[in-house]
Amino acid sequence: MAFATTNADLPARRASSTPTLRARLQDALPKIVLAPSFSIILVFVYGFILWTIYLSFTNSKAFPSNELTGPLAYQRLWNWTFESDPPSSWYTSITNMAIFGVLYIGFCILLGLFLAILLDQKIRAEGFLRTIYLYPMALSFIVTGVAWKWFLDPGLGLEQTLHHLGWTSFHFDWIKNANRVIYTVVIAGVWQASGFVMAMFLAGLRGVDGEMLKAAQIDGASTFQVYWRIVIPILRPVFLSAFIVLAHMAIKSYDLVVALTSGGPGGSAWLPSNFMYEYTFKRSQMAIGSASAVIMLMAITAIIVPYLYSELREKPQ
Amino acid sequence: MTLHMKLIAGVALAAASVGLAGFGTVGAAQAQTKEVQMLHWWTSGGEAAALKVIKDALAKQGYGWKDVPVAGGGGNAAMTALKAMVAAGNYPTASQMLGYNVLDYAQAGKLADLTELAKSEGWDKAIPAPLQKFSVYDGKWVAVPVNVHSVNWVWLNKAVMDKIGGTEPKTFDDFLALLDKAKKAGVTPLALGGQDWQEAILFDDVVLSTGGPEFYKKAFNDLDEASLKSDTMKKSFDNLAKLKAYVDPNFSGRDWNLATAMVIKGDALVQVMGDWAKGEFHNANKAPGTDFLCYRFPGTDGSVAYNSDMFAMFDVGADRKDAQTALAKTTESKDVQAGFNIIKGSVPARTDVSDEGFDACGKKGIADLKKASADGNFFGSLAQGYGAPPAVTNAYLDVVDKFFNGQIKTSDEAVTQLARAIDDAK
C-alpha cells in the first residue's frame, strides 16, 4: 500500500533515463535483504560441506590437519562395510539406518494416512483429537527419548507396571536387547512423527474436490474404492512432502538414539550420525568421521534427488 | 522521510550491524588481567564444592574467577566447546582436561610453559612420574595435575555384608564366593551400569587381578601384541564372563551413580567403580566403616590404576600470565590439594600431602598411592583413557562392551578382536 500511495510520481521518474538513488535502492532492496542469509548459508552449509570433504582426505585426528592421505578413510569404511561377525560399528550403523529408515518412514506414512482418513469422517471434537495426535511433535527428540526410555525400561516402566498388576509372565526387554533395540527407536520415532504426517495428510484431504467424491458415490463406488482409487492418488504431492521430511529426520536422528538407548548394549543402536559424532569428537579420528559424513550426504542425495526430479518434472505437463 | 525510506535505512543499518558483529567478537575476547577464565565440567554439587576451594584461595590473593562451565559427565561437550574456542583464538586461562588431550593441545603448540614455576615449587619430586607423563611435554610443564582417581576399588554395603556374613575378599575366587553368598541371600550381588566405560573399568580390574601389574602395564600401557593375545588375556575375559552372572538383567545403559545408589540402598552388595563413587556415599550421609566399606579390587592391593584431572594452561598473552601462574601455584599448593581432594573424594596429586582430614578410604588411597608410586605399580587405566590415546581406548571399550553384551561370544574371539582393534586404531 505504502508504495502505491506515496510514490504516485514514480512512473514518471522511471521514464527519465537516469534513475535516482532512491529508485536504485528500491531495486536493490530484495538483494540487500537476502544477502546476509544467503552468504551465511553459502559459507556455513556449502562451505562446510566442501571443508568436510577435504578433511576426509587428510589424516586429521583430534584437530584438522592439512596432510593429505588420499582415500584412506574411505577404504577403512569400505572394509568395515562387509565386516559382519562380530559386526563393526560402521556395519551396525548402516544396517540400523536401513532398518530404521524403512520402518520409520513406512509406519509414519501408513499410520499418518490412516489417522487422517479416520479424522476426516466428520466426527465430533475433531480439533481436540487433532491436537492430541499432533502434540508429540512439539516435544524434542531428547524428551521423547527419555520418556520412552523410562516407559520401556523393564525395571521401571511397562513391564514393571504389568507385573504389579498381576501379569507376571509379561516380558518386554527390547530396549536391553542388542538385536531388538533399534526397533524401540522406531517405536519412539513413529510415536513422535506420525501425528505430524497425519496433519499433512489431513490438509491434503481437505483439498480434495467434494464434487468428485459425490460423483463417485453416485456411480456406486464404496468408501474404500473412493479412497483407494481417487483420494490417495490425488494425495501424491503430500506423499512426496512427507517422504522428504521423514527421510531427512531419519538420517539426522542422533539425539533420539542417545536419549533413548545411550547407544544401546555394545553400540547396537548406533546410526551413522552417532558413528560420525563418536569418531570425529570422541575418538580423535576426524578423517574417518568426515568420510562417514560424506557418505551420509551421498546416500541421501542418491535417494532424494531422483525422487525430487521425477516428481517435480511432471508439473509443467 | 517516507515509510519505505525508513525501511531501507533500517535494513541497511541491520546489514551493517551484522557485518560489524562478525568483527566485534575479537574485541570482546579481551580479558581482564586479574581474572582467570576456567573451562571445566565440574557442575555437580560435590564437584562444584571442591572447585570452590581453589576459587576461594585465588580470591584471597586478589584474583577473580570467570567460570566457563560446560555440563556433561565425561567432558565430551566441554572438549568440543574448547576446540571451538581455541580454533577461534579465544583461549581460556586454563581448562580441565584428561591425559591425552593435554598432549594433543601441547603438540598443537597451544599450551604455556610453566617450567620455571615447576622448578621453584619442586613439582618434579612431589608429583609421581606417571602423572608427569601427561603434564610435561617435550621437557616443558604445560599442565598441572589436580587429583588422582583410581579405578581398582570395590564399594560394599556394610549392612548387607553383615547380613550374609561376608569378609574382605583377598583373591578373585574369594570375590566370586562372596558374590555367591549375596545371590543366595536374594540381593543383587554386583551393581553395574552397562555403559562401555563402566564395563571397561570392571575389566581393567579383572586384568590387573588376573595378570598382575607387570602384565597390565605391558598389555594396556605398552600395547604389546603378544600380551594382548596371551592366554592370560583370555583368562581375563573368562573371568569377566563369570562376573556377568552376578549382574541384574536390567543393567544396560544405567548410569554409574544409579548403580552406586543400589549399593547405598542395600539393593546390591558391591559396585566396582573409581573413587568418585565415594562422593555419592557422602552425599547420602553414609560414613566409611559403619555404612559402607572400601577395599581394593581383590588381587590388586598394592597397585593403583589411575586417572587424573589436569588443568591445562593455555599460551595466553603476557598480561594474563600472572593470573595463570597464580592459578597453577595455588592448585598445586598442599593446602588446596588437601582441601580440594577431601571434598572431591580423590587423592592429592602430590605424594607429600598430609592425610589429616581425609576419611578412612581417603587415607588408604593416599598410602596406596605412595607405596605404588615407590614400587612402580602406579599406572594409567586404559578404561579411563590414561593407558593409551583415545582411538585405542575406544577400540578397547568397543571390544569389552561387545563381549559383555554377548556380541562377541568366546574369549578366543575377544582376544583376536582386541588385538586387531587396537592395531587398527594405533
B391 and A284 within 8 Å at the Cβ level: the answer is yes
Q: Classify domain A88-312 at the CATH superfamily level.
A: MetI-like (1.10.3720.10)
A267 and B196 within 8 Å at the Cβ level: the answer is yes
The pLDDT of residue A316: 54
- For residue range B348-384, what is the model confidence (pLDDT) as tens digits? 999 889 988 899 999 999 999 999 988 989 999 999 8
Residues in chain B: 426
- Please say if the pLDDT value at position B4 is more than 70: no
Question: B194 CB near a chain A CB, below 8 Å?
Answer: yes
- Name the β-bridge partners of B145: B310
B253 and A178 within 8 Å at the Cβ level: the answer is no
- Please say if the pLDDT value at position B305 is more than 90: yes
B8 and A35 within 8 Å at the Cβ level: the answer is no
Question: A265 CB near a chain B CB, below 8 Å?
Answer: yes
| Per-domain boundaries in chain A | 1-54, 88-312
Question: Mean pLDDT over residues B216-240, rounded?
Answer: 94
- Please say if the pLDDT value at position B12 is more than 90: no
Q: Would the pTM count as exceeding 0.90?
A: no
Residue in B closest to A178 by C-alpha: B405
Question: A283 CB near a chain B CB, below 8 Å?
Answer: yes
Of A62, A149, A176, the CB nearest to B104: A62
The pLDDT of residue B85: 87
Q: Which residues of chain A have pLDDT under 50?
A: 1-8, 10, 12-15, 317
When pLDDT is cut at 50, 70 and 90, the band that residue B84 belongs to is confident
- For residue range B411-425, what is the model confidence (pLDDT) as tens digits? 999 999 999 889 888
A86 and B250 within 8 Å at the Cβ level: the answer is no
Question: A25 CB near a chain B CB, below 8 Å?
Answer: yes
H/E element, A53: helix A48-55
**If you average pLDDT over every residue of chain A, what do you get?**
85
Residue in B closest to A176 by C-alpha: B252
- For residue range B307-326, what is the model confidence (pLDDT) as tens digits? 999 999 999 888 888 999 99
**What CATH fold (topology level) applies to the domain B150-305+383-425?**
D-Maltodextrin-Binding Protein; domain 2 (3.40.190)
Question: Mean pLDDT over residues B6-24, rounded?
Answer: 44
Of B3, B12, B401, the CB nearest to A32: B12
Within chain B, all domains assigned CATH 3.40.190.10 are found at: 3-149+307-374, 150-305+383-425
- Name the β-bridge partners of B154: B272, B295
Q: What is the 3-state secondary structure (H, E, C) of chain B?
A: CCHHHHHHHHHHHHHHHHHHHHHHHHHHCCCCCCEEEEEECCCCHHHHHHHHHHHHHHHHCCCEEEEEECCCCCCHHHHHHHHHHHHCCCCCCEEEEEHHHHHHHHHCCCECCCHHHHHHHCHHHHCCHHHHHHHEECCEECEEECEEEECCEEEEEHHHHHHHCCCCCCCHHHHHHHHHHHHHCCCEEEECCECHHHHHHHHHHHHHHHHHHHHHHHHHHCCCHHHHCCHHHHHHHHHHHHHHCCECCCCECCCHHHHHHHHHHCCEEEEECCCCHHHHHHHCCCCECCCEEEEECCCCCCCEEEECEEEEEECCCHHHHHHHHHHHHHHHCHHHHHHHHHHHCCEECCCCCCCCCCCHHHHHHHHHHHHHHHHCCEEECCCCCCCCCHHHHHHHHHHHHHHHCCCCCCHHHHHHHHHHHHHHHC
Q: Which residue has the cell 580470591?
A: B59
A104 Cβ neighbours under 8 A, 6+ residues apart: A186, A189, A190, A193, A246, A250
Question: B408 CB near a chain A CB, below 8 Å?
Answer: yes
- Please say if the pLDDT value at position B275 is more than 80: yes
* B67 phi, psi to nearest 5 deg: -75, 135
When pLDDT is cut at 50, 70 and 90, the band that residue B147 belongs to is very high
Q: Which of B422, B364, B387, B389 is nearest to B213 (CA)?
A: B387
Question: Mean pLDDT over residues B105-119, rounded?
Answer: 91
A41 CA to chain B: closest CA distance, Å?
Answer: 14
Q: Which residues of A touch B3 (CB under 8 A)?
A: 2, 6
Say if residue A19 is preceded by a cis peptide, omega within 30 of 0.
no
The pLDDT of residue A172: 85
Q: Which residues of B touch A25 (CB under 8 A)?
A: 8
The pLDDT of residue B19: 41
Of B11, B196, B407, the CB nearest to A32: B11
In the numeric block, which cell numbers belong to residue B107? Answer: 603438540
- Please say if the pLDDT value at position B410 is more than 50: yes
Of B15, B79, B394, the CB nearest to A32: B15
The 8-class DSSP code of residue A68 comes to B
* pLDDT above 70 coverage of chain B, percent: 92
Question: A157 CB near a chain B CB, below 8 Å?
Answer: no
- For residue range A246-282, what is the model confidence (pLDDT) as tens digits? 988 898 889 899 888 888 888 889 999 999 998 888 8
**If you average pLDDT over every residue of chain B, what do you get?**
87
- Please say if the pLDDT value at position B28 is more than 70: no
Question: B284 CB near a chain A CB, below 8 Å?
Answer: no
When pLDDT is cut at 50, 70 and 90, the band that residue B73 belongs to is low
B187 Cβ neighbours under 8 A, 6+ residues apart: B160, B164, B266, B267, B268, B269
A153 and B250 within 8 Å at the Cβ level: the answer is yes
Question: Mean pLDDT over residues B139-160, rounded?
Answer: 94
- For residue range A56-104, what is the model confidence (pLDDT) as tens digits? 999 887 778 888 888 989 998 998 888 877 788 899 999 999 999 999 9
Question: A142 CB near a chain B CB, below 8 Å?
Answer: no
In the numeric block, which cell numbers belong to residue B81? Answer: 566447546
Q: How far is CA B196 from the centre of its chain?
A: 15
The pLDDT of residue A113: 93
Q: Are B273 and B307 in contact (CB under 8 A)?
A: no
Of B83, B252, B407, the CB nearest to A86: B407
- Please say if the pLDDT value at position B10 is more than 80: no
Q: Which residues of B touch A96 (CB under 8 A)?
A: none
Pick the CATH number of B3-149+307-374 from 3.20.20.120, 3.30.1510.10, 3.40.190.10, 3.40.50.150: 3.40.190.10
